[in-house]
Amino acid sequence: MKIGILALQGDFHEHQNCFNKLSVETQLVKSVSEFDNCDSLVIPGGESTAISKLLVNTKLDKAIIEKASEGFPIWGTCAGLILISNQIIENDPVPLKLINITTSRNYYGRQIDSFVEKILFEKENFEAIFIRAPKIVDFEKDIELLSLTHDGTPVAVKSKNILGTSFHPELTDDLRIHKMFIDMTENK
């Protein structure tokens, strides 16, 4: 099993470090040929507009959409969540439309407005780090809500082979969400 991590821009090394701690082989993905050698893909946090443009330039956007429709596991964190959304309130960038959610970019403010909030994940506290985080403002019936904030806003969602988190699990030592994605990859 090899988990791909989109490495066009963003905090891909942090995800790689988490999977290394779990002794899982990873592939940094910058091309379609590298993507084709993976069993799943993480789209990390970063700058969603820049990542979107690079996805189009490398033709990875089409490859990701095609594989996702075949049941290939994809996990988007923060900017990655924006990119996998069905719709973005701000209408830019153009999303991949992999999961039936609507997001709002940088909803929680600028870098200076970053915060940490304890959320429940699998019935235990998880210290979620929100940095220029998107908000899930709407979702369809097929969406499984995995975690909510104190005010009931969904921040971790899943639908079939697609996982999304509006926060950065890769910046913590809590590897439960990475383990969940490993399970999704093994059981695809």
- Catalytic-residue membership of 14: no
Q: Residue 95's closest CA among 78, 111, 80? A: 80
CA–CA gap between residue 186 and residue 114 (Å, rounded)? 34
Q: Does residue 170 have an active-site annotation?
A: yes
∠ Cα 64 181 155 (to 5°): 90
Q: Do residues 132 and 110 lie in contact, with contact meaning Cβ atoms separated by under 8 Å? A: yes
**127 flagged as catalytic:** no
Nearest to 131 by CA among 174, 80, 173: 80
Q: Given the DSSP bridges, would you call strands 144-148 and 135-139 parallel, antiparallel or unpaired?
A: unpaired
Q: Which amino acid is at 132?
A: R
Helices 176-186, 12-21: crossing angle, 10 deg rounding: 80
Catalytic residue among 15, 18, 78, 178: 78
Give CA–CA dist 83/99, Å, rounded.
10
- Catalytic residue selected from 15, 18, 38, 170: 170
Tell me which of 15, 18, 38, 168 is the catalytic residue: 168
Active site residue ranges:
78, 168, 170
